[in-house]
């Protein structure tokens, strides 16, 4: 038994400690664990529709795009005999057995009507080869040994080492050739990676131009949006809300309508040139060229993306107390010093959010550069659309898109390391 000491303390070693329990007799620890488990399940059920939506509409399409950029089985699936010869003879020049395998597959391709599909796949690596496959497939049933001489009699280009290297590369369903092409590189007849001819180097320069354009557009939007956001943030709430309608008005207008409106404004016989000619600023014979070039692309995209810079800046500037700057002025700081050391640092989260948002949107814009920019104002997104819609080279389009995505993620990572994503504020 436990004894009660003089100071009221319980002594002894036979004291029974009763565990805490709920009103229904369950252990309190078990009841708390069950309650937490129910709360987690309830939270998961609440966010499950959003997770499914993101998975179906975002993650799966990107995954499919990344897979298509390295997978194309149009040749390997329809030329199995020749693909097997390539596997068994790595690096070997084509012999009679290789031409025999080629003829066998071409005969089957003629029966299955897949010669065009096979030729298109090889044509991605070696331009002009599609017609060779369709012509050879039509004559394949009539060919007799020796097959090498028979095939070369159809077209002497069948002996071209570059063609056989292209077929060897296409004989496996997984390939990195589309990424090489997206970086203006290719494989020579020996399989070595080399740069393409200078006249065919178009993608790298357009990647550079895309990021330079996006940076210029982001900088212009920041210069124009900062004073506008400051004015909206310092005006009385009633007036700022009224002016905010003008900022939000573009969101209520179709992007295509806004783009075509700029086409009307910027063309040589458009409103802007006519106004400049009427005021004597520009000579009628030397009207400004602002359409189908880089100038038109920058002007139209700045107008379209400007609200995306104003809104984050306004959201950050609105809570800033004006007496901070007044206090700095009263302590002897000049207007520029007070702005640079007191006001500007407090708006950096909004600057980061707006710049990141505008830059990422500008990198992937398609409609505006296509309509306003012309050939010189196009960006890499226009080439992606071309391969998706015109050339039907979806693997090439996927490779270009994957490189663009990787570049954006790299910039996002650098921004996080240098500035910090946690410092971004959208509201």
The distance of Cα 120 from the centroid of its chain, to the nearest Å, equals 26
SS3 299: helix
Which tokens in the block code for residue 126?
A: 């070696």
CA gap 158, 150 in Å, rounded: 10
Q: Are 181 and 396 spatial neighbours (Cβ–Cβ below 8 Å)?
A: yes
Q: Which CATH number fits domain 203-423: 1.20.1440.230, 3.40.50.1110, 1.10.3720.10, 3.40.449.10?
A: 1.10.3720.10
Question: How buried is residue 38: exposed, middle or buried, by Cβ count under 10 Å (0-12/13-18/19+)?
Answer: exposed
Q: What one-character DSSP code corresponds to residue 174? A: B
CA gap 117, 78 in Å, rounded: 9
CA gap 109, 64 in Å, rounded: 27
pLDDT at 207: 93
Q: Which residues pair with 10 in a beta bridge?
A: 4
Which tokens in the block code for residue 331?
A: 């302590």
What's the predicted TM-score (pTM) here?
A: 0.81
Domain ranges of the chain: 80-173, 203-423
Question: How buried is residue 393: exposed, middle or buried, by Cβ count under 10 Å (0-12/13-18/19+)?
Answer: buried
pLDDT tens sequence across 8-66: 444 545 555 566 776 777 787 888 888 898 899 998 899 999 999 999 988 999 999 99
Q: Which residues pair with 27 in a beta bridge?
A: 21
Would you call the peptide bond into 146 cis, given omega within 30 degrees of 0 as the criterion? yes
Q: How many CB atoms lie within 10 A of CB 96?
A: 12
Q: What is the pLDDT along the chain (427 residues), one digit of tens a residue?
A: 445 444 444 454 555 556 677 677 778 788 888 889 889 999 889 999 999 999 998 899 999 999 999 999 999 999 999 999 999 999 899 999 999 999 999 999 999 999 999 999 999 988 889 999 999 999 999 999 999 999 999 999 999 999 999 999 999 999 999 999 999 998 887 778 889 888 888 999 999 999 999 999 999 999 999 999 999 998 888 888 888 888 888 888 888 888 888 988 988 888 889 998 998 888 888 888 888 888 888 999 999 999 999 999 999 999 888 888 888 888 888 888 888 888 898 998 889 889 988 999 999 888 888 888 877 778 898 899 899 888 889 999 999 999 999 988 988 888 788 767 666 655 5
CA gap 190, 203 in Å, rounded: 24
Dihedrals phi, psi of 194, to nearest 5 degrees: -135, 165
pLDDT at 1: 45
237-248 helix and 294-317 helix, angle to the nearest 10 degrees: 150
CA gap 103, 427 in Å, rounded: 66
């Amino acid at each position: 038994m436990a004894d009660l000491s003089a100071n009221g303390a319980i002594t002894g070693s036979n004291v029974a400690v009763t565990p805490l329990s709920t009103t229904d007799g369950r252990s309190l620890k078990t009841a708390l664990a069950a309650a937490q488990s129910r709360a987690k399940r309830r939270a998961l059920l609440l966010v499950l529709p959003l997770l499914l939506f993101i998975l179906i509409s975002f993650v799966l399409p990107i995954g499919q795009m990344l897979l298509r950029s390295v997978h194309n089985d149009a040749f390997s699936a329809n030329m199995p005999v020749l693909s097997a010869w390539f596997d068994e003879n790595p690096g070997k020049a084509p012999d009679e057995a290789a031409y025999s395998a080629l003829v066998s597959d071409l005969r089957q391709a003629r029966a299955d009507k897949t010669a065009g599909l096979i030729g298109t796949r090889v044509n991605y690596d070696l331009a002009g080869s599609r017609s060779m496959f369709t012509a050879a497939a039509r004559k394949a049933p009539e060919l007799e040994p020796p097959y090498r001489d028979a095939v070369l009699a159809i077209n002497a280009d069948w002996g071209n080492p570059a063609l056989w290297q292209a077929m060897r590369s296409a004989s496996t369903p997984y390939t990195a050739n589309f990424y090489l092409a997206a970086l203006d590189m290719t494989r020579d007849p020996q399989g070595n990676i080399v740069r393409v001819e200078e006249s065919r180097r178009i993608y790298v320069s357009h990647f550079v131009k895309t990021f330079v354009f996006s940076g210029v557009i982001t900088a212009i939007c920041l210069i124009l949006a900062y004073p506008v956001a400051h004015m909206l943030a310092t005006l009385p709430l009633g007036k700022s809300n009224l002016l905010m309608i003008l900022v939000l008005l573009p969101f209520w207008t179709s992007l295509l309508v806004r783009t075509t409106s700029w086409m009307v404004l910027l063309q040589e016989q458009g409103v802007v040139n006519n106004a400049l000619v009427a005021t004597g600023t520009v000579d009628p014979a030397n009207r400004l060229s602002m359409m189908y070039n880089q100038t038109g692309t920058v002007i139209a995209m700045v107008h379209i993306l400007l609200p995306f810079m104003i809104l984050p800046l306004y959201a950050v500037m609105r809570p800033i107390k004006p007496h901070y700057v007044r206090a700095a002025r009263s302590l002897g700081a000049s207007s520029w010093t007070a702005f640079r050391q007191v006001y500007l640092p407090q708006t950096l989260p909004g600057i980061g959010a707006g710049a990141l948002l505008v830059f990422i949107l500008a990198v992937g814009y398609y409609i505006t550069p296509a309509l306003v920019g012309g050939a010189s104002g196009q960006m890499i997104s226009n080439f992606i659309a071309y391969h998706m819609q015109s050339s039907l080279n979806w693997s090439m389009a996927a490779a270009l898109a994957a490189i663009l995505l990787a570049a954006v993620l790299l910039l996002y990572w650098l921004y996080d390391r240098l500035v910090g994503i946690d410092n971004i504020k959208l509201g």
